[in-house]
Chain A
Amino acid sequence: MSTGRRKSPRRLSRAGRLIRTVVLVLIATGVGYAVTLGPLHAARAKAEISDGIQAIEIADGVTITPAQHWLAEPLVHDLLRIPVLPDLRSPRVYLGGHAGLLLRSPDRVLAVEIESSGPGAEPEAEALLRQKASAIIGAGAELPAVRTETLASGHTVWHLDDVFAVLAVVDRGGTLVTVTAERPDGESIEAYRPAIGQLLETVH
């Protein structure tokens, strides 16, 4: 009896360890998924197709109205980039909140990230634009000239662009909204400039 009592816990313990290991692996996988691919998938699950009429909230009451058939989903921020491993991403999307939108053109070629960057005016807008550009083009690279225009909406936009990307900051009455349009396929963005212009006009 005593021998059997001694052996039984050892077997349970082994099974328990196995279960515990499996559970830990599942948890680790789940957590890993939750902070890497999960936010992207959650955002995609929340994606909606624009009807071209209904404004979509970017954040804090700032809206945009993409044209019909544009795909809009919550923007997921990267938290940490580790070489070889998947990027760590903000789980904020699970909580129903987001600080921006990722728009994709109806042909899914153009990706446009739109974020509300808080209050600011011209100096902050230009600085924000240059900061964004440096992140994309490279810190040491010479940045293209910043252009300034008044949109038909009445808002001021600062923008700079190269062949592959258009970066813009819209001053929406004291709130700065950043727009980063890129073609992930690495082709010229030229044909999409009118579409980008249309998007900028609908930031309110």
Chain B
Amino acid sequence: MGVLALALLAGCSEPPAVEGWTPPGWHDHAGVRLAASDTDTAAALNDLGFIRMRIRNDAAGYQARYVQIAGAGEFNKRVDAMIRAPLAQLSFTPEAFPSGSGLADRGCLPGSAGWDADRVLTDPATGPANATGTAITCEVIAAFGSIVGVTMRTVTGTAGTVTADQKTTLYADVAGGTVTDAAAFWKPDAASDVWTRTVEQLRRQAGGLSSAPIAPPSDEQTALAAQALADVRERDDGTATITLPPGIASPELAGLGLDQTTAATSIEADSDLLAGWQTDAAAALENQRNTPFAGLPAWNASLPVDCSLHTCVAVTYDDGPGPYTKDLLKTLLAAQAGATFFMQGKNITGNTDIVRAVAADGHDIGSHTMTHPDLTKVGPDKDRAEVVGCADLIAGITGEPVTFFRPPYGAVNDAVLAAIGKPAILWSIDTNDWQGPGRAALIQRSVPVSKPGDIILFHDTHRDSVTAASDVMAGLQDRGFTPVTLTQLFGGKIPPGKVTRR
């Protein structure tokens, strides 16, 4: 019994557990982990005062949302090249759409850089007609110091069949005017390392137990990671989420039942790991990261708009400046809508500050004579005195020459044209706002009837015309129009003689 008891005693005793021991982790998890796609941080950045643009063209199977920055010529040039690149092979004539098309929603779309490519093509907010063609969208991913980072994305294909998905992130230094492609921020081997670490994470998520090294990626697989690096959202603490598009595949994952990822995969990298992937150029940028964003230059109506690309319409206001003109300027600024003001000399006196404000906002100003006579009835000398006198008055205030005029009542003939020697700007849509039809009628007389290239006549001396301006501009933009100045409508070259539309 004693032996039995001893055996039982010996058998029951077990070496005690090692105090403080915890199971080891995966060695390949250092500095990185799978994460949810992080697009929230970018959402608030898209409304910092960018110039919001949108082009839709169903005939060409094309839609583009993008932004420009006032005064940032190099950035605007780079973005312009991206939105034009797909157009080289397309027959393109600007189009307008029915009211209710929703095209007033412009500029970058938060989250769209991280969407599945198929969604970029199929979502009406970004995709071309019938989800077939080219979709360009953008997302603002960073704003600090004098730097803004904007990811541009071009997706081509049809619903369910994406043939190309290209991302480029541009970091613009608003103060210095320089632009750096985010590709320059990453060392040559960063993309393959990102890919390898992502596959390691996916291997663990799929239940992998092996510690065998991941085989190097193919060029095609490396390109997926390079695309992810073009859209890295680094946080103030130096960490970042890197989101790879669907299509990640490797032999290690195949054995785990994951032939290819079908959705985007995000990893979160810590600051040390990230710093190891980045170049000196990125480090220089990072120095500003914790500096508050300095802001963007304000929108200005004189910034270039290409009316062979955009669906332009010129809204004009006669007879001012008047008591409502300043309010109109605020409306136009909020809507980022350019306009043309035909001012009367007799109204300029006492309102020179308004003339300066109109010019400062970049709107066009034309002569509308000194006293509003019928120019066909007063003779060439009086014609010149009326038109040129007003033009000189305006130029004296703004410092800019006045190169066109609008004859009062639209009354113009060859004699008047010969006497003045400048283009006479008439209109293709007369709202007859002087009749006081009310705001709703003014909107109906302008928005639904406009066609690309139209010139619309309003008077900023009528209260309703000014209070309706917000809805008029929104309505035009909703149909895909970009309200522009006359100079923009004609690409800086207004034709001579009588001009009624583009």
Contact = CB atoms under 8 A, between A and B. Distances in A.
Interface of A: 26, 29-30, 33, 37-38, 40-42, 44-45, 47, 49, 67, 69, 71, 105-110, 145, 147-152, 157, 159, 161, 166, 168, 191-198, 200-201
Given A71-B14, A107-B18, A150 B212 contact: yes
Contact of B7 (A38, A147, A149): A38
A164 B173 CA distance: 55
A149 B4 contact: no
B11 A152 contact: no
B210 A149 contact: yes
21 contacts: A26-B1, A33-B4, A41-B7, A45-B11, A47-B15, A71-B15, A106-B17, A107-B21, A145-B257, A149-B210, A151-B210, A152-B211, A159-B209, A161-B207, A192-B23, A193-B209, A194-B23, A194-B25, A195-B23, A200-B210, A201-B210
Interface of B: 1, 4, 7-8, 10-15, 17-18, 21-27, 204, 206-213, 252, 255-257
Q: Which of A67, A147, A150 has the most chain B CB atoms closer than 10 A to its own CB?
A: A147
Nearest to B24: A194
B210 A150 contact: yes
Nearest to A189: B23
A139 to B, nearest CB: 23
Contacts of A191: 23
Given A41-B11, A157-B210, A30 B256 contact: no
A160 B14 CA distance: 30
B223 to A, nearest CB: 26
Contact of A195 (B15, B24, B256): B24
Given A45-B11, A67-B24, A194-B23, 4 more contacts: A157-B209, A194-B25, A195-B24, A197-B211
A156 B502 CA distance: 73
A29 B4 contact: yes
A107 B15 CA distance: 10
A33 B26 CA distance: 43
Nearest to B11: A41
A157 to B, nearest CB: 7
Contacts of A30: 4
B207 A151 contact: no
A49 B210 contact: no
A108 B209 contact: no
A107 B210 CA distance: 23
A149 B12 CA distance: 38
A147 B23 contact: no
A108 B7 CA distance: 22
Given A150-B210, A157-B209, A69 B13 contact: no
Contacts, number: 105
Nearest to B209: A197
Nearest to A144: B207
A107 B17 contact: yes
Contacts of A105: 21, 23
Contact of B18 (A44, A47, A106, A157): A106
Contacts of B24: 67, 194-195, 198
A106 B210 contact: no
Contacts of B252: 149-150
B203 to A, nearest CB: 8
A75 B22 CA distance: 24
B11 A108 contact: no
Contacts of B257: 145, 147
Contacts of B18: 69, 106-107
B291 to A, nearest CB: 41
A29 to B, nearest CB: 7
A106 B211 CA distance: 21
Nearest to B27: A194
In the complex, the 7 A-B pairs of residues with the closest C-beta atoms, listed nearest first = A41-B11, A106-B18, A197-B209, A148-B255, A149-B210, A106-B21, A152-B212
B207 A147 contact: yes
Contacts of A159: 207, 209
Nearest to B26: A194
B199 to A, nearest CB: 13
A151 B11 contact: no
A181 to B, nearest CB: 10
B179 to A, nearest CB: 45
Contact of B14 (A108, A149, A195, A197): A108
Contact of A149 (B1, B26, B212, B213): B212
Q: Which of A107, A145, A195 has the most chain B CB atoms closer than 10 A to its own CB?
A: A107
B11 A42 contact: yes
Given A30-B4, A147-B256, A194-B25, A166 B10 contact: no
A67 to B, nearest CB: 8
A15 to B, nearest CB: 19
Contacts of B208: 147, 149
Given A47-B15, A157-B210, A166-B209, A149 B23 contact: no
A200 B11 contact: no
B256 to A, nearest CB: 5
Contacts of B206: 147
A159 B257 CA distance: 12
